[in-house]
Chain A
Amino acid sequence: MGARVAVDIGGTFTDLVALFDDGRIAYTKALTTYDDLARGVLDCVNKANVNLPDFEFFIHGTTIAINTVIQRKGAKTGLLTTKGFRDVYEIGRSNRPDAYNLAYQRPVPLIPRELRYGITGRLASTGKVREQLDENEVRTAVRELKAVGVKSIAVVFLHCYANPEHEERAGQIIAEEYPECFVSLSHNILREFREYERTSTTVLNAYIAPIVSDYVIGLDKALRDAAFPGNFMIMQSNGGTMSASTARDLPVAMMESGPVAGVIGSGSLGQALGMPNVISFDMGGTTAKSSLVADGEVRVVTGYFIGGYETGHPMLLPVVDIVEVGTGGGSIAWLDEAGGLKVGPISAGSDPGPVCYNNGGTSPTVTDANLILGRLDPKNFLGGEMTLALDKAVAAMRDKIATPLKMTVEEAALGVIKIADAKMSLTVREVSVAKGHDPRDFALVASGGAGPLHAASIARELSIPKVIVPELPGTFSAFGMLFADVRHDYVQTNIRPMKGLDLNEVNAVFKRMGEEAVATLEREGVPKRLSLMTRTVDLRYRGQEYTLSVNVPAGEFDAAMLVKLRASFEELHYARYQHAAPEEEVEIVNLRMSSAGRFSEQDAMSFKRITQGGVSDGGKPRTRRVVFEDGAVECQVFQRGSVAPGQIIEGPAVIEELVSTTIVPPGDRATIHECGAIIIDIRS
């Protein structure tokens, strides 16, 4: 497999990881350049001495899509929808999730009401045309939208998931009247019912398309100018990549590229280490994120809310199932008016940051607690680039927490860590125990700057027997992108009882999806031998609403297939919910296909060890006092650049590196793996 380079633009840093033909890895970090993101990308490339002509793939994750939405900097966009339903997009689901908050506010629509047009024409749920599309109304609306300077138009008609005819016709009319306009037709984005969620997804796509398109074209040109000869791929929320040209049509698919890539990286690393069951745990400054990979398979779910459940915009495309909690290094510890000790969700962020950053922060944070307990070294933070103010952290912890609670400063700091760990454990539990997985069968892959500090304690809480700390835990998202396959998802809502199912109909739908998938992969340059199609069906008992996705084995749909699917469904229902109803009728709701271009069939074991550079202690570990729950101990402190494959480190111990610190608690044992990863065996 050819050499590839991944660049991940995050909130603060742009990370680059390059994988050379011989298995060597290079990496670098540079500040994100908000004024010109592409320049930051090329800065990184230059800084890492990566010679683009040598590479076959450039894989890119970026926050531009999600930031355009959150900062509301998208294009002026119009909406054509079914007459009588112009306000569906603003009405949403009418719910008030923050139920007792009298000041609760909805997400403000990305398209104002005067740019939303109701068009005559109606389909039934079967796709049957109940009323013809009024083409003149479409034409008039497009002319009006053009006249007021709209750059992008979303088209969403009721039930068009079952029959795209009206949307296609509207698309043609827009092309005739206003050919330079961006057009997003809902059936091209997803063929799934629920009008509000589909509208929101289509509108998101339309709203960001012009901006993302300019960005992708600009970066593509910059890469070509630097003589990059290979494939320019963009990371998607579904854990796969897509070509830059597909991304211009489907920018809504790239909302969550960074965190998702970390999950992909966890899965690949687990596979390479012979541990196909892993739980990723990524802890940064403000949040911790977790996701589960069972048997090498990343869990993908349909939809989430951009900007949070309570006031965000629903996005219905498949996304890697990540559960997030507002606990990070910057999370502030505080007392409520009744003296209850709380940690987060308010974060000191990077400005002013934790008290110990000495940048004006006065509220003690999780990072301050780690420093007080000796888990962080005040003199060796970010490779010594920054000195942490221990005295200030102690004073803040004492004044704000310890004194009011009549505790010592160290007790308070331990308490803060314990609460943070417990909250994050609940998150890890939510992706595992709560979904019927036994944590004892998994390894926890710790990433993010703060992940390796907390992972062992969380693993112990949940009886997870092993923790894996990869090389470069602080740039793990970029690392993960190296291993992402091309992936596209297709769905067709098709509600039918399983009994008496029209098998031809199902086979025909899958055939159409397959052809579409093959065509897209071909366009993206994926050789046929690397293409892989997987099919799933969403099933439920008749009368239920929620479905479970069941994998479809190879072969055409026939009677035997239905028996197999039914059995898998019962099993899954029982595993997930501890009950099943084998005597009841089962319904098919959605047919799904995902196509993969498996570029990444690469054995991560073949990596040469990465030289991290930075601090080395010449193999002579120092010691320092570190406080654990059972008391303070003098602990060996290793530099990651100096530990050797095969080396065994008995806890308690600390392993430091440039952007992260790994804690090996008393009784646990760390082994340095050949590929450089630290593997910690957790005592039960």
Chain B
Amino acid sequence: MTNPVKTNPVTLEVVRNALVAYANEMATVLVRTAYNMMIFEVHDYCTGIVDVEGNIISQNTGGLPIFLADLGAAVVGAVEIYGKDGFAPGDVLVSNDPVLCGQHLNNIVVFTPCFHEGELMAFLASRAHWVDVGSGSSGFGSTSSQSIFDEGIQLRAIKIYSAGNRNEEAFRIIKDNIRYPDSSLGDLRAQIAGCKLGERRLGDMFAKYGKATVLDCVTAMWDQAEALARARIRAIPNGVYEAESYLDNDYVERDKIIPIKVRVIVEDDEMTVDFSDLPPQVKGPINSGPSGGIACARVAYKCLVAPHTGATQGEFRPLKVNLPPGKLLSAIRPAPIGGWSLSMPTVIDTILLALAPALPDHVPAGHKGDMSGYAMMGQDKSRGRPYICLNIFGGGWGGQKDHDGISAAVSICQGNVHNGPVEVQEAYYPIIVDNHEFLQDSCGSGRNRGGLGIEITIRSEDDAYLNTQFQRTVMPPWGILGGTEAKPNEIFIEGLNGERRQGAAVTRHLIKPGERVVMRTGGGGGYGNPLEREIERVASDVRGGYISVQRARDDYKVVVDDKGVVDDAATKALRAGA
């Protein structure tokens, strides 16, 4: 065991716990006072403390995984513009700079500087998904966008408060360029309040321990996180690991699938995720800036290397990301990036798949590989105002060594994101949800089967408009080690005469009264040979209706009735023939 730390280990642990607590407290203020479902219900945000170079000191626990340690990009951009001497107490900045942040413009970063004895020490930052930032779409990006200029207002490190003075012009520009200013300016207030709170807490910490001690602790935190990560990587066999998969299309060129090829190189205590075989940036909006590629690599890396520690800069030092410019995940301005996160569940899953041979005990079979959500909007006649309802929901996760995949869970990108309760949606908006239930046989079969996807059906008694951005309606979630693949996503709109039209990727698509939007999410792939699954577990799955009698017979060679009663003799005979 090595001890790279010179700092007093006691002070270090005290400071570390406090820094995470501050970030969490910032998040609490944001969630509790936010004005949009993407924040309070879906938890599409993160909060953190960032040093002047843009390194993450601490981040809230439970935010969106793909926001891992990347709040710093916005800070770096601001420091480039204003210089390190260009900030004053009372400044509040907003940024959704597509070049540096690389995310859809809905993700607004608010940050404030923290001073100690007149010296700039750090920034408190918060990113949250605003419900609208102008553009041809609402809720999230348009499927037809072909340039960043189709996607809304761009804010690059704008000081909306300068030394405590409100910049009325900036506020007016923002207000006049978004559709739901009450909601978004409310979110802005909540974000500012969170940052201000963090500023006070961090200021108190500097006052109590002094600059040198706090900065020493931060350095030590990073060094320790790095050392821990290196130890874990050393346990992975060296090698070059590859995998591939594909996405449906970019929504603009709808006849072209998008291949995803990744390579992971493990060498001693370092890991490289090589994206050089990713396709070039695409015409449609599913590109991201380089931070998107980095986020994918980091999420996969963290799941394998440091799943239980708080996010901090140091743990990513042993990770190299090879991402040449101009790729799907490193698109160059003015590429459209409105659907910046849509490829990520699949890309991350593909990185994990590459490492499955090296870590068969840790890597699950493929999951639904999609962000799965919808936005329904229209005029709420009973309340006399426009509405927009956003929701995110789950699908199946892959089976793994010790248990079945979980059912109806959000993607690997979404962590603590919650689905929107049916009673909340129906109480707030003029929409009706007809069902929210498991989809039998949507899972892949295996010694440990995948989790189930779900079916959600929605409609409205008035004209309504639908936005969706699904992927993975073609390539199924994969099985591993002999497990079978699951059903992919299937989304359609059922017309008045029962006819179906595609609903996986639509923008402001009219849904007439009586028409129904049916969303079926993919299941998870199976893990291991299905014939190794205990017969009683197969019977139990049939009893619960998770799988059908037919599936039990076809994939597991178990003859069972719909009450879950096994016909032992017939099963034996079937297996003898298999």
Q: In the bound complex, how far is the Cα of B180 from the Cα of A543, in angstroms?
A: 11
Interface string of A580-599 (1 = CB under 8 A from B): 01001000000000000000
Q: Is the CB of A105 within 8 A of B18?
A: no
Q: Is the CB of A97 within 8 A of B415?
A: yes
CB pairs A–B below 8 angstroms (11 shown): A91-B437, A93-B421, A95-B419, A100-B415, A106-B406, A113-B544, A158-B423, A341-B10, A405-B3, A419-B14, A541-B35
With A91-B419, A95-B415, A579-B192 known as contacts, the answer to whether A336 contacts B228 (CB < 8 A) is yes
Interface status of A94 (Cβ within 8 A of chain B)? yes
With A93-B419, A96-B414, A337-B228 known as contacts, the answer to whether A578 contacts B393 (CB < 8 A) is no
Q: In the bound complex, how far is the Cα of B2 from the Cα of A272, in angstroms?
A: 54
Q: In the bound complex, how far is the Cα of B63 from the Cα of A654, in angstroms?
A: 45
Interface status of A575 (Cβ within 8 A of chain B)? no
Interface string of A456-473 (1 = CB under 8 A from B): 000000000000000000
Interface status of B178 (Cβ within 8 A of chain A)? no
Residues on B with C-beta less than 8 A from A88 are 422, 436-437
Interface status of A1 (Cβ within 8 A of chain B)? no
A315-340: which residues lie under 8 A (CB-CB) from chain B?
335-340
Choose one: B17, B40, B303; the contact of A102 (CB below 8 Å): B303
Residues on A with C-beta less than 8 A from B172 are none
Residues on A with C-beta less than 8 A from B436 are 84-85, 87-88, 91
Q: In the bound complex, how far is the Cα of B15 from the Cα of A341, in angstroms?
A: 12
A74-129: which residues lie under 8 A (CB-CB) from chain B?
83-88, 90-106, 112-114, 118, 124-125
Interface status of A342 (Cβ within 8 A of chain B)? yes
With A87-B437, A419-B13 known as contacts, the answer to whether A578 contacts B193 (CB < 8 A) is yes
Interface status of A562 (Cβ within 8 A of chain B)? no
Interface status of B32 (Cβ within 8 A of chain A)? yes
* Shortest beta-carbon distance from B485 to chain A in Å: 19
Q: Is the CB of B423 within 8 A of A434?
A: no
Interface string of B401-437 (1 = CB under 8 A from A): 0110011111000111111011110111000001111
Interface status of B157 (Cβ within 8 A of chain A)? no
Interface status of B211 (Cβ within 8 A of chain A)? no
- A336-B228, A339-B5 known, 10 other contacts, Cβ within 8 Å: A100-B65, A100-B307, A100-B308, A102-B400, A103-B362, A338-B224, A405-B9, A493-B427, A543-B35, A543-B182
With A95-B418, A114-B545 known as contacts, the answer to whether A544 contacts B33 (CB < 8 A) is yes
Interface status of A545 (Cβ within 8 A of chain B)? yes
Interface status of A379 (Cβ within 8 A of chain B)? no
Q: In the bound complex, how far is the Cα of B307 from the Cα of A104, in angstroms?
A: 11
Interface status of A195 (Cβ within 8 A of chain B)? yes
| Stretch of B21-29, B106-114, B319-327 that contacts chain A | B21-29
Q: In the bound complex, how far is the Cα of B422 from the Cα of A355, in angstroms?
A: 52
With A87-B408, A114-B543, A541-B35 known as contacts, the answer to whether A434 contacts B25 (CB < 8 A) is yes
Q: In the bound complex, how far is the Cα of B218 from the Cα of A264, in angstroms?
A: 41
Interface status of A495 (Cβ within 8 A of chain B)? yes
B21 (CB) vs chain A CBs: closest residue:
A426
* Shortest beta-carbon distance from A372 to chain B in Å: 15
Interface status of B247 (Cβ within 8 A of chain A)? no
Interface status of A193 (Cβ within 8 A of chain B)? yes
* Shortest beta-carbon distance from A402 to chain B in Å: 11
Q: In the bound complex, how far is the Cα of B228 from the Cα of A337, in angstroms?
A: 6
A534-563: which residues lie under 8 A (CB-CB) from chain B?
541-546
Q: In the bound complex, how far is the Cα of B193 from the Cα of A576, in angstroms?
A: 11
A161-196: which residues lie under 8 A (CB-CB) from chain B?
161, 193-196
With A102-B364, A339-B3, A581-B186 known as contacts, the answer to whether A545 contacts B40 (CB < 8 A) is yes
Q: Is the CB of A90 within 8 A of B37?
A: no
Q: Which of B9, B363, B415 has the most CB of A within 10 A?
A: B9
With A543-B182, A578-B196 known as contacts, the answer to whether A338 contacts B545 (CB < 8 A) is no
Residues on B with C-beta less than 8 A from A546 are 31-33, 40
Residues on A with C-beta less than 8 A from B426 are 124-125, 158-159
Interface status of B4 (Cβ within 8 A of chain A)? yes
Q: Is the CB of A85 within 8 A of B422?
A: yes
Interface status of A276 (Cβ within 8 A of chain B)? no
Interface status of B1 (Cβ within 8 A of chain A)? yes
Number of A-B contacts (CB under 8 A): 233
A contacts with B: majority SS: loop
Interface status of A361 (Cβ within 8 A of chain B)? no
* Shortest beta-carbon distance from A139 to chain B in Å: 20
Interface status of B89 (Cβ within 8 A of chain A)? no
B417 (CB) vs chain A CBs: closest residue:
A95
B383 (CB) vs chain A CBs: closest residue:
A497
Interface status of A146 (Cβ within 8 A of chain B)? no
* Shortest beta-carbon distance from A612 to chain B in Å: 35
* Shortest beta-carbon distance from B376 to chain A in Å: 16
Interface status of B36 (Cβ within 8 A of chain A)? yes
With A91-B394, A97-B416, A405-B3 known as contacts, the answer to whether A84 contacts B435 (CB < 8 A) is yes
Interface status of A415 (Cβ within 8 A of chain B)? yes
Q: Is the CB of B4 within 8 A of A338?
A: yes
* Shortest beta-carbon distance from A591 to chain B in Å: 15
A30-83: which residues lie under 8 A (CB-CB) from chain B?
83
Q: Is the CB of A543 within 8 A of B183?
A: yes
Q: In the bound complex, how far is the Cα of B353 from the Cα of A25, in angstroms?
A: 66
Q: Is the CB of A415 within 8 A of B10?
A: yes
Interface status of A299 (Cβ within 8 A of chain B)? no
Q: In the bound complex, how far is the Cα of B197 from the Cα of A430, in angstroms?
A: 13
Q: In the bound complex, how far is the Cα of B53 from the Cα of A557, in angstroms?
A: 56
With A88-B436, A94-B408, A415-B9 known as contacts, the answer to whether A338 contacts B37 (CB < 8 A) is no
Q: In the bound complex, how far is the Cα of B435 from the Cα of A159, in angstroms?
A: 14
Q: In the bound complex, how far is the Cα of B41 from the Cα of A193, in angstroms?
A: 14
Interface string of A502-520 (1 = CB under 8 A from B): 0000000000000000000
With A426-B21, A434-B28 known as contacts, the answer to whether A103 contacts B186 (CB < 8 A) is no
Q: Is the CB of B407 within 8 A of A90?
A: yes
Interface status of B283 (Cβ within 8 A of chain A)? no
A341 (CB) vs chain B CBs: closest residue:
B9
Residues on B with C-beta less than 8 A from A195 are 421-423
Interface status of A422 (Cβ within 8 A of chain B)? yes
* Shortest beta-carbon distance from A322 to chain B in Å: 17
Residues on A with C-beta less than 8 A from B302 are 100
Residues on A with C-beta less than 8 A from B183 are 543
Residues on B with C-beta less than 8 A from A113 are 544-546
Q: Is the CB of A335 within 8 A of B36?
A: no
A426-450: which residues lie under 8 A (CB-CB) from chain B?
426, 429-430, 434
Q: Is the CB of B394 within 8 A of A194?
A: no
Residues on A with C-beta less than 8 A from B418 are 93-95
Interface status of A418 (Cβ within 8 A of chain B)? yes
* Shortest beta-carbon distance from A228 to chain B in Å: 44
Q: In the bound complex, how far is the Cα of B435 from the Cα of A90, in angstroms?
A: 14
Q: Is the CB of A96 within 8 A of B409?
A: yes
Choose one: A87, A429, A430, A584; the contact of B182 (CB below 8 Å): A584
Q: In the bound complex, how far is the Cα of B186 from the Cα of A369, in angstroms?
A: 49
